[in-house]
Structure 1
Amino acid sequence: MPAKDVYHNVVKTALVKEGWTITADPYTIKYEELQLFADLGAGRTVIAQRNQQEIIVEIKSFIGRSLIRDLENALGQYIIYRTLLSVTNPSYQVYLAISQDVYENFFLQVAIQLIVQQNQVALIVVNIEAEEVTQWIS
């Protein structure tokens, strides 16, 4: 099992506050000979549509020595998870959860926005202190 991110429990709490049920902690992704672990699986029923929404969340704190290195690692994991889930569970949406501070101070840079958009990275932005989701960006 991989180590939990610094903000793991904060993101988990924020999702529950938004009406999500945590279905897996961690979520196991199996494909052929690979077995990987995303941080969380969550689901909720959309009453108006009468269907179940299911998401996989990879949580990243971006507290390493280099924000670019942290982005490279996060983006690699995100793309691998999304690729494998497109075959094993195509209805699942993969999200990268980050703090509001990291979003405002790093992810809003023009070059980072280009990278996120080109790679179609869906984000959950979380206010760490309030333990609340401030933005869903898909």
Structure 2
Amino acid sequence: MSRRDDLHFSLRRTLEKDGWIVTDDPLILVLKQTLLKADLGAEKFFTAEKAERKIAVEVKDFDSPSVISELEKTMGQLQLYQWALEEQQPERQLFLAVSQAIFMKHFQKPIFQLAVKRNTINLLVYEPKREVILQWIVH
């Protein structure tokens, strides 16, 4: 099993432990007759708010030799997913999931902060080993 698979299944278990129901694995989206696949789709009912929230999640480990190249690819991928969600499932909020280690290593850098801010990227920061969500950062 590859490292990415480990992250994928760890994130899925993390969401489920937090009360989310994984509805799609992967979440299939279509944009202008092109098939796209986000890693997960999930939903959760919040009784205090009497509302249901739906999310689409893409998990990344940023372990390629060129982190900037992976950031560029991820920005484009998330933009396509966002466009597809706006057309097909506007109630679903898109998140980029990263481990706490990756968040601390890369997302403190000015270029990552700029990319997140300018592209209004929502982040889900989690601890893969303990399978717990540490932060929801919504832009």
Matched, 1:5 2:4: yes
Whole-angstrom CA distance in 1 between matches of 2:8 and 2:56: 13
Whole-angstrom CA distance in 1 between matches of 2:24 and 2:49: 23
Matched, 1:28 2:28: yes
The corresponding residue for 2:42 is 42
Match of 2:97, as an amino acid? Answer: A
The corresponding residue for 1:104 is 104
Whole-angstrom CA distance in 2 between matches of 1:53 and 1:109: 30
Alpha-carbon deviation of 1:111?
Answer: 2.4
Alpha-carbon deviation of 1:4?
Answer: 8.9
Q: Deviations over 1:29-75 (max 9, x none)?
A: 02341111110000011112222100000011111111111111111
The corresponding residue for 2:56 is 56
Match of 1:21, as an amino acid? Answer: I
Q: TM (normalized to structure 1)?
A: 0.92
The corresponding residue for 2:68 is 68
Whole-angstrom CA distance in 2 between matches of 1:93 and 1:23: 14
Once the two structures are aligned, what percentage of the paired residues are identical? 33
Question: What RMSD, in angstroms, separates the aligned Cα atoms of the two structures?
Answer: 1.5
Count of equivalent residues: 136
Q: Structure 2: where are the runs of 5+ without partners?
A: none
Q: TM (normalized to structure 2)?
A: 0.92
Match of 2:48, as an amino acid? Answer: A
